[in-house]
Chains A and B, each alone.
Chain A
Amino acid sequence: MENYLVMEDVTKIYNNGIIANDKVNFSARKGEIHAICGENGAGKTTLMKMLFGIEQPDEGKIIIKGKEMRLNSPTDAIKAGIGMVHQHFMQVPTLTVAENVTLGIEPTNGVVFDMEKAIKMTSECCEKYGFEINPKAHIQDLSVGVKQKVEIVKALVKGCEILILDEPTAVLTPQETKELFVQLKNLRDSGCTIIFISHKLNEVKELCDRVTVIKKGKTIGVWNIKDVTEADISRYMVGVDVDLDIPKKPAEPKENVLVVKDLTVYNEAGKKKVDGVSFSVRKGEIVGIAGVEGNGQREMIDAITGLSKYSYGSITLMGKEVKDMDIRGLRTNGLVHIPEDRNLYGCARSMSIRDNMIADKITDPKYNNGIFINEKAIKDDTDKWVDEFGVLCDDGDQLVGMLSGGNVQKVVVAREFTSYSELVVCDQPTRGIDVGAAEFVRERMVHMRDQGKAILLISADLAEIMSLSDSLIVMHGGKINAFFPDVKTLTEEDLGFYMLGVKHMSEEEIRGALHE
């Protein structure tokens, strides 16, 4: 069917005056995988929110199977046969798979929740579409890949015929991604229409039948995937070719800045998440940490940056043990940190760009005389940084919450990179920001390295971590599974094998991560 789903001249203007969608046209056929590509802030998410009833269009029509629909809530969308897999999983961790899958359409026996029936509904749906999930398992015990399958089953069990996937591969390993693609193709062949939102053009090329490109809230065009190359799509998206090669000289590492020895960390549930990890980061090098989410990177970084405590082993920064240091102590000893969640930990959204940039330096006598703050000095310096880091804003007094994701990240980067630093911890520094801003952040990291800083980079973006890192650590099951002193020879597939624990390196090789 040609016009199974049509969104016609859809316009959405948010209350703050931002035009997210400007007469966007989008249509999908029955039984196709249709990609929507566009930079961050291009309006993909808004368009999908309208299709799923979370937002309502100000103008335009949504037509499903020839019938114009008004979708006022997700309930309406679910009734119309639309399902959505959100970027952040919509699951209740302490409940079982079956309870999560049937939430909202709970089978009952009178007023009693019928667990047996819920399990049966879940396993029947899993069988029908070839998913292997234990309906009795609790969500909190599952890996990210399985959680995502639960999310898809959740939509299917409600009889969804149009499935929206919002960047589904962002959290998966290459192998898990492959498995997901096989299942999505099966779903398509059984007549399901899949809308696939992604930044990863190689995946779009591999999986999808057609692609719609959106730029600055407008539709640029629709192409059959076999008629366009990845380079074409990226040109349509940003107007210029994206150069993923980051120009950098070979590293010249000097003495150790961060030394981690036999570090062991337990999580809230008392489970060992980091298991005797040892490595070091030296001046003038970028050490990358790769790994599937949930293999201890999070806990390790939290311990290094002082966000959580650890019990066994040692972490030394510039020769000093950090165990009993508070965050201020860590910072005076040269730690700067770009946190993973910029909105929660990276900035204060309701404060100005100026206040955010100066927050960690306000104790400096340059900016205060003991009683009053020196507004002139603050204004001069922050204006300079706004300029230097290319933050797109009206002026430094604008609230950070008003900026786009990429510009918020630039504010965070500007604050951290202008502080006194020896060790720079970059946790997912370019996640979810547009290509232009990501490129800028990466260049800045290389620039910091060339100034002799030690850089620890954690990223789920394999292309990024492979092109930026000088040496690379792979974590699996809380341990270092592989150490590559030189990343140039490494292939993405090989990295995937180490990340999944299919291959292991010898202890001898792994010991190389600690330079003594």
Chain B
Amino acid sequence: MGVITEIFNTISRVVVLPSFYYMIFQSAAPILLAALAVAVAIKANAINMGIEGIMTVTSLVCVLVSSAVGGQPAGGPWLGLVVAIIVGGLLGFAVSVFAFRLKIDIILVGIAMNLIGTGASVLLMYVLTGDRTTTTSLSSGTLPQLAIPLLKDIPFLGEVLSGHYVLTYLAYILVFVMSFFLFKTKLGLRIRAVGENEEAAESVGISSLRIKTIALIISGVLGGIAGAFMSECYLAYFSSGLIAGRGFVGLAACNMGSGNPGIICLCCLAFGIFYAFSNFSTLSNLSIYALNALPYAVVLVGVVIYSVYMRKKELKRLQGLESEENLEHGQPAK
């Protein structure tokens, strides 16, 4: 009983804080970037399982580049972001080379990318900084936070929506950009055509290899931005375990949103709520470990609910409950 009361107490203490809502948007941003990265690839029928690894590598690259040019005063974080984007794109390209030119199963390539990403980044960090866990010894700095004029002066709402990092805003803008890109542009049309019927695209002279490669490069670029977010917005340094499964959560969100940017965004915000909670452990007597594990448990529950929902839909189909003509005929619903 005590635990349940404590949970309710924590919730009631937290939900009145504007900073809680601020944290929702901020925590959801990296997941959203990762999910969009996965989505663009999945629309071309290429699964970018390696997103976690790409984020790990690019977040370290960011920090290293930034500190090498002199950190925040010298605009290091911006250069770090640019290099992270390039490295992300290259890693996306590498996935496509392994999967489509060398014909290695794309899931295996993704797993390899994740393992290499974790291992290589720690090795590189140790070689360059002599530290095995974090790069706090380097002063890499963060990207700027933006105060939105007018909006920032509105009570409560201003505290929630204004003052986010540049990349947070970028993540939500990208939802619209990716929707437009996938559904309104020529390249988007080709990506969807290749994803749905590769042969059909090939038969009219579209190289599916090229389209998939482009999709994976874009996916890598988005992964690079997500990586940069983690080490230049979320934290101001890189540490081993920094990404902490956010790439995988993005994969789950992409699946639950069927690759559709709008729905993906909603899923990410839902996950963001639980990530935000874990930031307020000081206001609670609940175990901090439990709170930190909460988002992942919620993802698991979310995926289960999603598949139960899909199964229900399948059953409904069999019984024809969704069919309008059936209702017209007045057939009994079982």
Contact call B316/A270, Cβ cutoff below 8 A: yes
Contact call A95/B320, Cβ cutoff below 8 A: no
Contact call A272/B325, Cβ cutoff below 8 A: yes
Q: List chain A residues, Cβ under 8 A from B186.
A: 106, 108, 111-113
Interface positions, chain B 146-197, Cβ under 8 Å from A, are 184-190, 192-193, 196-197
The number of chain A residues with a CB under 8 A from chain B is 38
Interface positions, chain B 125-156, Cβ under 8 Å from A, are none
Contact call B200/A311, Cβ cutoff below 8 A: no
Contact call B319/A93, Cβ cutoff below 8 A: no
B82 within 8 A of A: no
Contact call B205/A95, Cβ cutoff below 8 A: no
Measured CA separation A455–B115 after assembly (Å): 56
Knowing A95-B193, A106-B186, A108-B186, say if A270 contacts B204 (CB, 8 Å). no
Instruction: Out of A103, A158, A268, A309, name the residue touching B200 (CB < 8 Å).
Output: A103
Contact call B318/A90, Cβ cutoff below 8 A: no
Question: What's the minimum C-beta distance from B209 to chain A, rounded to whole angstroms?
Answer: 12
B201 within 8 A of A: yes
Instruction: Out of B204, B317, B319, B323, name the residue touching A103 (CB < 8 Å).
Output: B204
Contact call B197/A272, Cβ cutoff below 8 A: no
Q: Which of B188, B197, B334 has the most CB of A within 10 A?
A: B197
Interface of A, secondary structure class, is loop
Question: What's the minimum C-beta distance from A114 to chain B, rounded to whole angstroms?
Answer: 9
Contact call B320/A270, Cβ cutoff below 8 A: yes
Contact call A74/B319, Cβ cutoff below 8 A: no
Contact call B205/A78, Cβ cutoff below 8 A: yes
Q: List chain B residues, Cβ under 8 A from A105.
A: 204
Measured CA separation A86–B192 after assembly (Å): 21
Measured CA separation A75–B206 after assembly (Å): 8
Contact call B204/A74, Cβ cutoff below 8 A: yes
Q: Which of A95, A103, A312 has the most CB of B within 10 A?
A: A103
B203 within 8 A of A: yes
Instruction: Out of A93, A266, A309, name the residue touching B320 (CB < 8 Å).
Output: A266
Measured CA separation A100–B199 after assembly (Å): 13
Contact call A309/B197, Cβ cutoff below 8 A: no
Knowing A95-B192, A111-B186, A270-B317, say if A104 contacts B197 (CB, 8 Å). no
Contact call A92/B316, Cβ cutoff below 8 A: no
Measured CA separation A73–B318 after assembly (Å): 44
B322 within 8 A of A: yes
Of all chain A residues, which has the CB nearest B322?
A270
Which B positions have Cβ atoms within 8 angstroms of A?
184-190, 192-193, 196-197, 199-206, 316-323, 325-326, 331, 334
Q: A99-B189, A266-B317 are in contact. List 7 more A-B contacts (CB 8 A).
A: A73-B205, A95-B193, A103-B189, A106-B186, A112-B184, A270-B323, A312-B319
9 residue pairs bridging A and B, Cβ less than 8 Å apart: A73-B205, A89-B200, A99-B189, A103-B189, A103-B190, A103-B200, A111-B186, A270-B323, A311-B318
